[in-house]
Amino acid sequence: MDNETVDRENWKARGYLTSEEVDHPPREVLKGGAVAVIECPQRIPCDPCSESCPVGAIDMENVNSLPKVDYGKCTGCGICVENCPGLAIFTLDCSGQDTCQITLPYEFPLPEAGEEVEGLNRKGEAVSNVTVTRVKPKDRSVGDTSTVTVAVPEESVHDIRNIRRKE
């Protein structure tokens, strides 16, 4: 679904977006390398994502618009992920052989590369175990947010949007 048609009232009642309400990049785009996916449902005055993108890949009609990624320009650098105060941006990369990489913003105590964690859906439910492949702490972020990258099965790339460390 196009970002401009996200039903805000349903989102507010639920507290999270459903996969159907997200503007997913086509598979051929993900196979070509990392791109950003923006899951920002609220038309509030906010634009660090667009302002921080070094290649102008995030379109916003005005500061209250929902941002939209131009996959033809996006390099998947992740700068917008680290600059989004709403933790609403992820990068997805399915260029690898068997798995996809999801880079997500993360505000809890950081896991370590190689750690097995639970991959959670938008509702916070466990989807599958996934492996952390990269950790970028806040002090190395170009914005204000730590990021964690996990390897996930391709069939889960549009579902997993958070992680939970195991006890």
- 13 SS3 class: helix
- Residue 147, beta-bridge partner list: 105, 136
Smallest separation, CB 31 to ligand SF4 (Å): 16
Q: Kindly write out the interface string for residues 70-109 of this chain, putting x where it contacts ligand SF4 by CB under 6 A and - elsewhere.
A: ----xxxxxxx---xxx-xx-x------------------
Q: Which of residues 140-159 bind ligand SF4 (CB under 6 A)?
A: none
DSSP class per residue in 15-72: SS--GGGS-PPPHHHHHTS-EEEE------S--HHHHH-TT--EE-SSTTSPPEE-TT
Among 58, 100, 120, 127, binds ligand SF4 (CB under 6 A): 58
In angstroms, rounded to a whole number, what is the distance separating the alpha carbons of residues 56 and 108? Answer: 30
Helix, strand, coil share (%) of the chain residues, nearest 5? 20, 30, 50
CA 23 to chain centroid: 12
Q: Does the protein bind ligand SF4 through residue 33 (CB under 6 A)?
A: no
Nearer to ligand SF4 by Cβ, of 88 and 104: the residue is 88
Which residues fall within 8 angstroms of residue 108, CB to CB, at 6 or more apart?
165
Smallest separation, CB 119 to ligand SF4 (Å): 21
Among 47, 59, 115, 118, binds ligand SF4 (CB under 6 A): 47
Smallest separation, CB 50 to ligand SF4 (Å): 7
Residues that bind ligand SF4 (CB under 6 A): 36, 38, 40, 46-49, 53, 55, 57-58, 67, 69, 74-80, 84-86, 88-89, 91
